[in-house]
Structures are given as C-alpha cells and as structure tokens.
Amino acid sequence: MANDIQAKANELENEKFELTKKIQEYEAWTKLENLYELKELSAGRLVYGYKKNELNCEPFHLLCPSCFSKKRKSILQNFGITDKGIRYGCHDCKFEIYDPTQKKPIPTFMHDNSGPDGWMSR
C-alpha cells in the first residue's frame, strides 16, 4: 500500500516536471515569436522577419515560415543573388524563397561558366 502511494507520488512528480517543461518551452517560444513579424517578400510569399527596435539588437534576419509553424526557429540562409532575386533557403526543411525586389543587375557578359574552371578561362 505504501509502495503504491510512493509510486503514485513519483508519477505525479514526473507529470509536474513534464508540464513545467512544456510551459517553459511555450513561454520561451511566445517570447521568441513576438520578436518576429510576417513579411511579404513577394506576392503571397511570406516569411518571418526580425522586428528590429531599440530592445531587439540582433542583426536583421529572416526565419523559415515552414519551421516557424512547427515552433522551430530556423534562420533562412542567404544563398546569394540570382536573376530571380536573392535566394534564401532553410537548411532544416529545404524551404526556398526568392526576394525579387533585390535582383542582380543584368550582366553584360557573365555566366555561371565564367569561374576559374569555366569555359571562359580556357
């Protein structure tokens, strides 16, 4: 009988621990969520952008909307400028998006083959 009570007490203690952990995670996420706002990169293409203000002092960055919806913070990496705009991608879920407002100026004579190993160097 005493063992039963002890087991029950342990069970409740574990449950309390798990719940506390969940609440802490939830609170941490809510805090983080408030640092970002939905941003439209181009028509209908949404990402989460860092809200920069006097309290938030990290450099501006974008978060993957797909990971964000799963309560995961994944920074969109800038893969450089292309003719479709700046290409951003998520390492976590392979989400990709272009920012067409930042296009590469039309090159006069440049191609992906123009690197040191390209045909132009031969």
Closest distance to Zn ion from the beta carbon of 33 (Å): 15
* Burial class of 78 by CB neighbour count within 10 A (0 to 12, 13 to 18, 19+): middle
Binders in 42-71 for Zn ion, by CB under 5 A? 64, 66-67
By CB under 5 A, tell whether 93 contacts Zn ion. yes
**Residue 16 is encoded by which pair of tokens?**
């309390």
Contacts with Zn ion: how many residues (CB under 5 A)?
Answer: 8
Nearest to 47 by CA among 9, 96, 84, 14: 96
Q: Which is nearer to Zn ion, 66 or 85 (CB)?
A: 66
> From edge to edge, which strands make up the β-sheet containing 36-42?
36-42, 45-50, 62-63
Q: Which is nearer to Zn ion, 83 or 96 (CB)?
A: 96
By CB under 5 A, tell whether 78 contacts Zn ion. no
By CB under 5 A, tell whether 74 contacts Zn ion. yes
By CB under 5 A, tell whether 81 contacts Zn ion. no
